[in-house]
Amino acid sequence: MEAGLAAAEVLAASSEKILAAYVKAPDCEAVRETVRRETANLVSALKDIRRIVGKLRCSELEELERLREENEDLRSRNRKLLLELRDALGVNSALKEEAGDAAMEKAQTGRPAEKLRRPRGAPKGHRGNTRAIPDKWDEKIEIPAPSVCECGCGQIIESGESDMKYIEDIPPVSRKVTLLEYRRGICAKCGKELRHGEAAGPAVEIGGNLAAHLAMLRQAGLSYRKLSSFCTETLGIPLTPSGTMGVVNRVTDRNIPLYETIGNVLSKQEVLNGDETGWKVRLEQWYVWIFCNPSLVYLLPDKSRSGKVPERILGKDYRGTVVCDFYGGYNFLQNTQRCLVHFTRDIEKEREVLPGSVTLERFEDRVWNFINADQGHTFYEPLCQTQNLNFLIFFQNDSLSVCFPTHIILS
């Protein structure tokens, strides 16, 4: 079919050339006969092309329909295998009982099934977790032993044993007004009246504690209108939405020097964790970059996600180590510790592509053994060397490195 289409295209092209050449030829019977013959050839070639293209389209549609049916069949088989696997592992057994046989039959046959509602709470048999016991307490209240026994006896003797319970709470939140009386003075030499600079401005201001809490709540996502309602109705401190915004902005202005100081000392940190995420700013797509360690946190919004942003933040010659994911924007750094969680996810994806690969299975086991084991040792060990994989794994100074011939995945 493809050969016929190619021949028809060659014939059509040849006829077009001949017709173009005879356009300016003198009018005679021979020219007219040649034009009629080549026109017929051109029409015939076009019909052949249309016929072949039609057949190709039909065959493509048939192939597409076959692939759709095959895809649906594979999806149905996948659902069946997934249900069988869940049955074997005992997962979602409660869901099966609630869904009934009809819904399970729909899921097995591949037809659209009703969305199964996941039961609330943890699975049956899950061991719950409780809050950690505080390191210290601020107030202790001793509660005497019960005064009456279940048997009706009222003669209770304390055993000396106690049951401890810690109540984590906050003091009652209420309005507190502090009057600051700034005394004035008169210079004994020149007679000028002296006043405190802090006394200037409005007579009533919002205190630092409330301002800090409003700033944190705003950062948590509350609108200025909700913050205004909280102050006015809950705390009894009248504050308009615009007034709330002014308070938050003043907190921001006071902390700009501290923010800039944190940014200036980033380049001196030995280890930093780095990441970036999308962030909407006035309905536009921005990104928030974060660099942090146990001592500091630095956030920077920027329109760009390119590597120029961390290069501008840390400096092109940053000598420390940055713990980050595999995003290429961090490749300019000399020392990176790529996130092992991202790495294990990549291994899982590779295992799905090559489910029978002994090399990948052994590699995954060794990575997890490294993550779970004590990391106080230093050694070098070749991991695997095959025709398609040729890399080494290094355990040194509590860091993991996987080296490929052309680049470093973990360093």
Q: What is the 3-state secondary structure (H, E, C) of 345-361?
A: HHHHHHHHHCCCCHHHH
Q: What confidence tens digit (pLDDT) does each residue in 49-83 have?
A: 777 777 777 778 888 888 888 888 888 888 888 77
Q: Whole domain around residue 229: which residue ranges?
A: 206-264
Query: What six digits make up the tokens of 171?
Result: 């003091």
With beta carbons less than 8 A apart as the criterion, state whether 12 and 45 touch: yes
On whether both 7 and 43 belong to a single domain, the answer is: yes
In a domain, 236, yes or no: yes
Burial status of residue 22 (CB atoms within 10 A of its CB: 0-12, 13-18, 19 or more): middle
On whether both 315 and 346 belong to a single domain, the answer is: no
* Residue finishing a domain among 53, 88, 123: 88
In a domain, 230, yes or no: yes
Check pLDDT > 60 for residue 98.
Answer: no
> Distance between CA atoms of 142 and 139, rounded to whole angstroms?
10
Helices 29-89 and 2-21 cross at an angle (nearest 10°) of 150
> Distance between CA atoms of 392 and 404, rounded to whole angstroms?
7
In a domain, 287, yes or no: yes
At 311, is the pLDDT very low, low, confident or very high (cuts 50, 70, 90)? Answer: very high
* Residue finishing a domain among 264, 288, 305: 264
| pTM more than 0.85 | no
Non-local (6+) Cβ contacts of 293 within 8 A are: 269, 271, 272, 273
Q: Which of 97-106, 157-166, 389-398 has the lowest mean pLDDT?
A: 389-398
At 405, is the pLDDT very low, low, confident or very high (cuts 50, 70, 90)? Answer: very low
Q: What confidence tens digit (pLDDT) does each residue in 250-260 have?
A: 998 998 999 99
Q: What confidence tens digit (pLDDT) does each residue in 281-296 have?
A: 888 999 999 999 999 9
Query: What six digits make up the tokens of 407?
Result: 């680049």
Q: What confidence tens digit (pLDDT) does each residue in 187-241 have?
A: 999 999 999 998 888 899 999 999 999 999 998 889 999 999 999 999 999 999 9
On whether both 310 and 358 belong to a single domain, the answer is: no
**Residue 318 phi/psi, 5° resolution?**
-60, 130
On whether both 282 and 231 belong to a single domain, the answer is: no
Cα of 364 vs its chain's centroid, Å = 24
* Amino acid code (one letter) for 266: L
Non-local (6+) Cβ contacts of 35 within 8 A are: 19, 22
> Distance between CA atoms of 383 and 381, rounded to whole angstroms?
6
Non-local (6+) Cβ contacts of 68 within 8 A are: none
Average pLDDT, stretch 24-35?
65
On whether both 316 and 348 belong to a single domain, the answer is: no
Q: What confidence tens digit (pLDDT) does each residue in 377-404 have?
A: 433 333 333 333 333 333 333 333 333 2
Query: What six digits make up the tokens of 329?
Result: 């924007």
Non-local (6+) Cβ contacts of 141 within 8 A are: none
On whether both 316 and 375 belong to a single domain, the answer is: no
Label the pairing between strands 321-324 and 336-338: parallel
In a domain, 112, yes or no: no
In a domain, 140, yes or no: no
In a domain, 229, yes or no: yes
In a domain, 239, yes or no: yes
N- to C-terminal Cα separation, the chain: 55
* Residue finishing a domain among 67, 88, 109: 88
Check pLDDT > 70 for residue 112.
Answer: no
DSSP state of 123: P
**Residue 50 phi/psi, 5° resolution?**
-60, -40
Query: What six digits make up the tokens of 37?
Result: 């013959």
At 12, is the pLDDT very low, low, confident or very high (cuts 50, 70, 90)? Answer: low
Average pLDDT, stretch 349-369?
84
In a domain, 39, yes or no: yes
Domain count, the chain: 4
